[in-house]
Structure 1
Amino acid sequence: MGINQNYKLNLIQWYPGHIAKAEKNLKEQLKLVDVVLEVRDARIPLSTFHPQIPQWIGNKKRLLVLNRLDMISEQVRQLWADWFKRQGEQVFFTNAQQGQGVTAVSKATQATGVELNQRRRDRGMLPRPVRAVVIGFPNVGKSALINRLVGRRVVESAARPGVTRQLRWVRISEDLELLDAPGVIPAKLEDQEAGLKLAVCDDIGEAAYDNQLIAAAFVDLVNELYAIAPDVLPENPLRSRYDLDPTSSTGESYLHNLSELRHKGDVERTARQILTDFRKGFLGTLPLELPPN
């Protein structure tokens, strides 16, 4: 899918020093862990894949968690589950805010501990709690997942991305210790379309971007998805919400028309409203990515 060329993006500026530091700390800590819970956003499972993670993890056990299952439909969830299965991956879907799906993640993590301790016993070593780490992009719901796994609020979980800075271990049970790591985004995002989706979903951490460009690109993206796979998407969510059909216009002109209709020509306010409505789920279960053919 091609994004309109005007977005020759320095659309998004980012990479504050703390992410470089977070990355260094995370690599250190990964040496100490047995199992990695990689959390991605169910609306954009491919764009929230961090290309360095496989290399950092090496041959450690990894569980893939797609969070925000409430923001995609059952049908789209099934498409992703099947697609990942074909890649040899089992996926756990969660809604960490509400707690759905967390028990399965917890059980799978504990099971890893059982295997680990069996191997330790076989080598004449004492069993110990399994050490797990939760990693992923800023704001994909890592802290909420940890709070659910622990069963009490231990991590400051906020909509403000990049809240988690320090690394700390949380003892979940006799058998499990969990490390909460800061969100990491790639130092260089080669794929600007992925950057756009991260910004739309607010999974990007402390980055500067232009709301109007992002909102216009979002409308273009939605139009492209409807051109490809209308049958798995909710029925024209932009038209339903704003009484204005986007299909025959560019994202940019849609934004301007909607601003005239709703906000006396205030394009910035309109852009913010569209992004907020999407992030809060007011546009329905609208994914921004579907599995590659």
Structure 2
Amino acid sequence: MAINWFPGHMVKTRREIEENLKLVDAVIEIRDARIVRSSKNPQVDKIIKNKPRLVLLNKADIAESSVTRRWIRKLENDTTRVLEVNSLTGQGLNSIKPALTELLHEKLERSKNRGIVNYTMRVMVVGIPNVGKSSFINKMAKASIAKVGDRPGVTKNKQWIKTKDGIELLDTPGILWPKFEDEKTSLHLAFTGAIKDEIMDIETLALRLVERLSSHYGDRLVERYKIDSVSEDPLETLENIARKRGCIMSKGEIDYNRVAVMLLDEFRGNKLGNITLEWPEEEDEQDE
């Protein structure tokens, strides 16, 4: 399933990130805890290089916590700290200042020696569309400063936001990259809404979601949709779900568009329970 998504404003965003990096002390990179690998823009590593980084695994409340903890152990290193957060409720955000203070310890000590006691840490916030970046900034600022939308790509312009924690955040629009590394990455981004549904084949996307969920969360599909079992054929499973939910047209034909939209909405709305689509062990296997 080929997915192409690289509008012109994302080229501009990449340039802005490169140009403004010298203005900040660290970078906060926000990822989706359900798709930690796929929600990482590989260009970010090349752009920020060795700049201190705090990775926030957002939407941790709808991912499997045990897997999220394994991701944290895998990703942390000398220049990177990782936290699991929920930007809507504020869960985990109190740990951000201590984590940044630890990352910037040497710089803060130098400033203190120069007589600067209350140093304002300036941090750039980056992340792909629809990962919760604007919600995070709003929660940190305790006000709706950054514009929030339910569709990817709402945040457009650069803006500095002051927080009550002595941190200044530089917001940037969400940015994807020109070419996805593999089909699994593009599918996971599409499942979670990081790619606009308007450019997708929704019916095929829903079929692939059924295929993915059947291999790890088949019991969730059975329980939610009251089907007898998941089939080896994902189309058969999707059709059984459609019949149970009344997604039927005249003459008893399956309304594939209706069941597809319903399934994707319920997955994104956490109606199927906490689900993680990527595991650090899988990434280790790919690296070997």
TM-score range, shorter chain: 0.7 to 0.9
Q: Does the CA contact (< 8 Å) of 1:43 and 1:71 recur in 2?
A: yes
Q: Pick the aligned partner of 2:276 from 245, 262, 287.
A: 287
1:268 aligns with 2:247: no
Could you tell me which residue of structure 1 aligns to residue 10 of structure 2? 19
Q: Does the CA contact (< 8 Å) of 2:210 and 2:234 recur in 1?
A: yes
1:255 aligns with 2:238: yes
Cα deviation for residue 59 of structure 1 reads 1.7
Letter in 2 for 1:216: L
1:142 aligns with 2:133: yes
Structure 2 regions of 5+ residues with no counterpart?
A: 249-253, 283-288
Map 1:158-177; keep pairs closer than 5 Å: 158-173=149-164, 175-177=166-168
Q: Which stretch shows the higher mean deviation, 206-215 or 184-193?
A: 206-215
Shift in alpha-carbon separation, 1:166–1:207, aligned structure 2, 3 A: farther
Q: Does the CA contact (< 8 Å) of 2:79 and 2:103 recur in 1?
A: no
Q: CA RMSD in A?
A: 2.4
Shift in alpha-carbon separation, 1:279–1:259, aligned structure 2, 3 A: same
Shift in alpha-carbon separation, 1:74–1:248, aligned structure 2, 3 A: same
Map 1:56-67; keep pairs closer than 5 Å: 56-67=47-58
Cα deviation for residue 281 of structure 1 reads 0.3
Letter in 1 for 2:268: R
- 1:19-75 deviations in Å (ceiling 9; x for gaps): 111111122122211110111000000111111111111221101110001112332
Could you tell me which residue of structure 2 aligns to residue 231 of structure 1? none
TM-score (norm 2): 0.87
Cα deviation for residue 223 of structure 1 reads 2.2
Q: Does the CA contact (< 8 Å) of 1:144 and 1:157 recur in 2?
A: yes
In the aligned structure 2, how far is the partner of 1:94 from the partner of 1:254? Answer: 34
In the aligned structure 2, how far is the partner of 1:204 from the partner of 1:121? Answer: 45
Q: Does the CA contact (< 8 Å) of 1:239 and 1:246 recur in 2?
A: yes
TM-score (norm 1): 0.85
In the alignment of these two chains, the number of paired residues is: 275
1:132 aligns with 2:123: yes
1:218 aligns with 2:209: yes
Shift in alpha-carbon separation, 1:269–1:68, aligned structure 2, 3 A: same
Could you tell me which residue of structure 1 aligns to residue 24 of structure 2? 33
Shift in alpha-carbon separation, 1:219–1:204, aligned structure 2, 3 A: same
Structure 1 regions of 5+ residues with no counterpart?
A: 1-8, 227-234
Q: Does the CA contact (< 8 Å) of 1:215 and 1:251 recur in 2?
A: no
